[in-house]
Amino acid sequence: MSDRRDGAPEAALDAEDAADSAAAGSADAASPDGGHAAAAPSTHTVRLELVDEPGQLLAALHPIADNGGNLLSIYHERGNKTPRGRIPVEVDFEATPERFEEIVDALRSEGVNVMQAGTERYAEEVTLLLFGHLIDTDLSDTLSRIEACESASVADVSLAAPQGTEEVSSARLRLEARAGETDAALAAVRELADEKELRVVEPLTGVDA
């Protein structure tokens, strides 16, 4: 890890390595995720989704600078599009854990869609089943509306429609939820399923049965 500390721009793109080396460099950091090193700034990577319009990038960087974040690098993937047709941008900056939370909150309140904020933001993975008239009720709309919920993103989908697309089919969804927001994500899926008259088989969360 120490050899990569010198190659700052490269290392900074790799959130975990960067966070590790930052913590390792701090004498009183108790854990690599900085859980006890309250005051020590560490490097964070935030993935944002921007609408392809002038001024959007600048608007997204303001909340970082205004809240005490020290910008390190910006990777603007202009050639790529997210599933929602937006442009993904990866921003690296240094901030203390408290500042980091404030920055993410500020980004969200500015209407910037934060897809991923550091590795700990999507800390929880949850698998569930949906069944019913999945295809008649527009599966892609179902998935994008789950995506649109701030608590979770859809990591993986498997569909089984053994009796054709007009009969009852099943899907297995793997969601990545933000830390502590699995329940909120499941509640959002439940609500959507109610609306579309689909059934949800939820996992037993918090029980590693």
| CA 78 – CA 95 distance, rounded (Å) | 26
Task: For residue 117, count CB atoms less than 10 angstroms from its CB and return exposed for 0-12, middle for 13-18, buried for 19 or more.
Answer: buried
Q: Which DSSP string do the residues of 124-192 spell out, in sequence order?
A: EEEEEEEEESTTTT-HHHHHHHHHHSTTEEEEEEEEE-TT-TTS-EEEEEEEEE-TT-HHHHHHHHHHH
Please identify, using beta-carbon distances, which residue of 82 and 137 lies nearer to other proteins: 137
Question: Shortest CA distance to 100 belongs to which of 118, 115, 119?
Answer: 118
Q: Does 4 bind other proteins (CB under 8 A)?
A: no
Among 74, 168, 184, 187, binds other proteins (CB under 8 A): 168
CA–CA–CA angle 36, 115, 157 (5° rounding): 115
Regarding 158 and contact with other proteins (CB under 8 A), the answer is yes
Q: Which of 170, 183, 184, 187 binds other proteins (CB under 8 A)?
A: 170
Q: Least CB distance from residue 132 to other proteins, whole Å?
A: 8
Number of residues binding to other proteins, judged by CB under 8 A? 21
| Contact flag: residue 203 with other proteins (CB under 8 A) | yes
Residue 176 CB, nearest distance to other proteins (Å)?
15
Task: Write out the two tokens for 119.
Answer: 């590795």
Retrieve residue 50's tokens. Answer: 């921007």
161 near other proteins, judged by CB under 8 A:
yes
Does 208 participate in binding other proteins (rule CB under 8 A)?
yes
Using CB under 8 A as the binding rule, whether residue 194 contacts other proteins is answered as no
Q: Measure Cα distances from 45 to 48, 77, 153 in Å.
A: 10, 15, 17
Contact mark string toward other proteins, 109..148, x via CB under 8 A:
------------------xxx-x-----------------
Among the listed ranges 32-40, 84-92, 144-152, 154-162, the one in contact with other proteins (CB under 8 A) is 154-162
Min dist. Cβ of residue 169 to other proteins (A):
7
Selected binder of other proteins within 19, 135, 171, 189 (CB under 8 A): 171
Strands 169-177 and 124-132: antiparallel
Q: What is d(CA 56, CA 51) in angstroms, rounded to the nearest whole number? A: 7
Among 169, 178, 181, 193, binds other proteins (CB under 8 A): 169
Tokens linked to 142:
């179902």
Residues that bind other proteins (CB under 8 A): 127-129, 131, 158, 160-162, 168-172, 199, 201-204, 207-209
